[in-house]
Amino acid sequence: MVSPEMGRYLGGPSAAGAAAATNAMLSMTKIVLSELRDAYEGAANGA
């Protein structure tokens, strides 16, 4: 089962955000969508 939110963060329009979300996910033992969102939005907004 895959959440639609994962697609927004891993394949979103921001390449930097998608890379940050992917890197965050690869370090997780359990996928936490809020952490993917934070990584994506932080990179997409230049943080």
User: pLDDT tens across 1-47, in order?
Assistant: 778 889 999 999 999 999 999 999 999 999 999 999 999 999 988 76
CA 31/CA 22 separation, integer angstroms: 11
Residue 45's pLDDT is what? 84
Residue 47's pLDDT is what? 62
Structure-block tokens of residue 25:
């996910």
Residue 36 CB neighbour total at 10 angstroms: 23
DSSP string across the chain: ---HHHHHHHSSS-HHHHHHHHHHHHT-SS--HHHHHHHHHHHHTT-
Total number of domains constituting the chain = 1
Residue 3's pLDDT is what? 86
CA 29/CA 44 separation, integer angstroms: 24
Residue 46's pLDDT is what? 78
Q: Which residue range is the domain that position 24 belongs to?
A: 4-44
The pTM assigned to this predicted structure is 0.79
